[in-house]
Chain A
Amino acid sequence: MIVNNGITSVEIKIVDHKTGETKKMRADIPADRIENGIARIEENEWIEVE
């Protein structure tokens, strides 16, 4: 059994009100990567989303 208790997703949305640009990044943490409430996201696992 995989126990998946903890932070399973983090999303960052940055709106630049000077340029009007919006940048959104997201990282989803797989169930088997959560151990006793701790999840680790590698740098290349942050994905830019629409």
Chain B
Amino acid sequence: MTTYVQQVLKTGKNNLLATGFTGITGNEFGYMAFGKSTNTPTEAGTTALGQECSSSDGSYARVPLTNTADTDNRRITSAGTLSTSNITKSTTITEVGICDTSTLSSGVFYCVCQVPPITKDSTKSVTITITSTFDSS
């Protein structure tokens, strides 16, 4: 049975701290990236998607995040949508990440999430919603 790993990265944790505290420089996480690798992400060893989609997949660009806070539950929900005009050639998406820049193959990643294979082309739009919780019970 296939296991899909949802990994918050060491780089992501450090950038969260850097963004939130004065005197340490960090960038807000504002973009979602999509990729094609099935490599399992690890906390310290992974810093980006295994194989991010590219222009050869048909007008691929990272998409802006829409974030919604649920302060009662120390939770944030982050959504990104690939429109029909973003990845227009038939491409199998297997990984998604949240990052701090729209520039392809660069930036700091908060997380890498493996997802069941999604076939994307110009006939489909795809929305991924990732919920992060910082809580204890």
Give A contacts to B, CB under 8 Å.
Answer: 1-18, 25, 27, 29, 31, 36-44, 46
Q: Which residue in chain B gives the minimum CB-CB distance to A3?
A: B136
What are the 5 A-B residue pairs with the smallest beta carbon separation, nearest first? A37-B8, A7-B6, A9-B131, A11-B129, A8-B133
In whole angstroms, what is the CA distance A27 to B4 when docked?
10
Q: Does B107 contact A (CB under 8 A)?
A: no
User: Which residues of B are at the interface with A, using a C-beta cutoff of 8 A?
Assistant: 1-9, 13, 43, 75, 77, 84, 111, 113, 115-116, 118, 123-137
Q: Are A40 and B4 in contact (CB under 8 A)?
A: yes
Interface contact B8-A15, CB-CB below 8 Å: no
Q: Could you jot down 9 A-B contacts, CB within 8 Å?
A: A3-B136, A5-B135, A7-B6, A7-B111, A11-B127, A14-B118, A14-B125, A14-B126, A17-B124
